[in-house]
Every structure is written in C-alpha cells, then in structure tokens.
Amino acid sequence: MTGFGRVVLVMVVATVMMLSSVSADPDLLQDLCVADLTSGVKVNGFACKSNVIAEDFFFAGLANPGATNTTTGSLVTAANVEKIPGLNTLGVSLSRIDYASGGLNPPHTHPRATEIVFVLEGGLDVGFITTANVLISKSIKKGEIFTFPKGLVHFQKNNGKVPASVIAAFNSQLPGTQSIAATLFGATPPVPDDVLTKAFQVDTKEVEKIKSKFAPKK
C-alpha cells in the first residue's frame, strides 16, 4: 500500500468512527442485527436475520472507479445497508463518487445524514446552501476534506481536465438521496405543471421539456 493509500485508510476509519459516535440513526440494542433484506417485516431499519456470516459485513464495490459515461458525468457507488447487511443498526455508511472531467453530482440532499467527503484524486468545486439561501462553497483537491450538513442542498463539480473521485462517509446506514431536479421533474405520479410553472416562474412548455428529460426509461 502506498503512503497515500495508508492516509486514505486512516482517514476513512477515523471518519467512520467519528460519525458512529454521533449517529443519526437510533442506537443499537444488541451486538449486531444483520439485515434480512428479504423480510416482509416493516421496522425502522430492517429485521434481523439469524444465520450471520462474514460476508454480511464485507463489500468490495468501492475498490475501482465507477463508469462516468452518464448524463451528468458522475457516478455514485453506495456502500450502505442494502449492500452491506451488517451495517443494519450501526449508523454509518460510505459511498464512492467518481467524476469525469466536467462531471457534476447534481444538487441534492440526504434527509437522514450529514456527509463528509475525502478527495482521492483530482479536484472539485463543492458547496451547500443554507436555509437562509447562503451558498457556502470551496475548491478542494486530493487529500482534502469537506462536510455537508444534514438535509441541506449540496453539490460537487469537477472543473478540472482529469477525472476526480472521493470517498463519502455518512452517519446513517441508509442516508437517502433526493436529487432536486429528478425529484421535482421525474416524480411518479408527476408533480402538477401548474405547481412547477409557478415555483420556477416559467411556462408550461419549459416544464414539459424538462420533464421529458427525466421521464422513466421504458
């Protein structure tokens, strides 16, 4: 492992431990509760399964860059309870986000978690907007960290000429993501046009045009 690789490992472990101590999820009441993702029982989290194995606590999906040939030029690879059942009740999760040159992780929120990102490669312009409509933004580069408060709208954009990537940590096993544009213009059933035209001060044709870009793929 390279020197930088060791630094990344230490930072990720320290971040997860820190977030665990201020967990946004309810405290666990037992050693573990590996999620039974097939259970029909509905609880605030997942029902526990009985046949626990080591693989329930393992995931290799963040090891390699994700394909960024997407509409936005970015890809989020989540390592949450849906990928690692052993995270159930533990109050932490990670994601890897990869960005092509010019790639954007569009404005979005995580309703259940604070997020902290550690830049693995490249550089990003990042920011969040407070409830007073104040933009807090900064350019960050390899080895640096930035935090997005729980529930606030935020974004990341790679304005560099080379790919970029980050590891993001959350104080929730399943932070949830609401992408602002996709949520408003791609909802099912759709948000009424008159709501969107009034909210965005545009005409119906513009709303329909935007909705067509977020229509579910058939």
Which residues participate in the annotated binding site for Mn(2+)? 108, 110, 115, 154
Annotated binding-site ranges for oxalate: 105, 110, 115
Cα angle vertex 74, ends 130, 164, to 5°?
Answer: 90
Give the SS3 label for residue 76.
strand
The pair of three-digit structure tokens given for residue 23, joined into one six-digit string: 């967990």
Annotated binding-site ranges: 105, 108, 110, 115, 154
Sequence-ordered strand ranges (E) for 103-183: 104-109, 115-121, 123-129, 135-141, 145-148, 153-157, 164-170, 178-179
* Cα–Cα distance for residue pair 92/59, rounded to 1 Å: 14
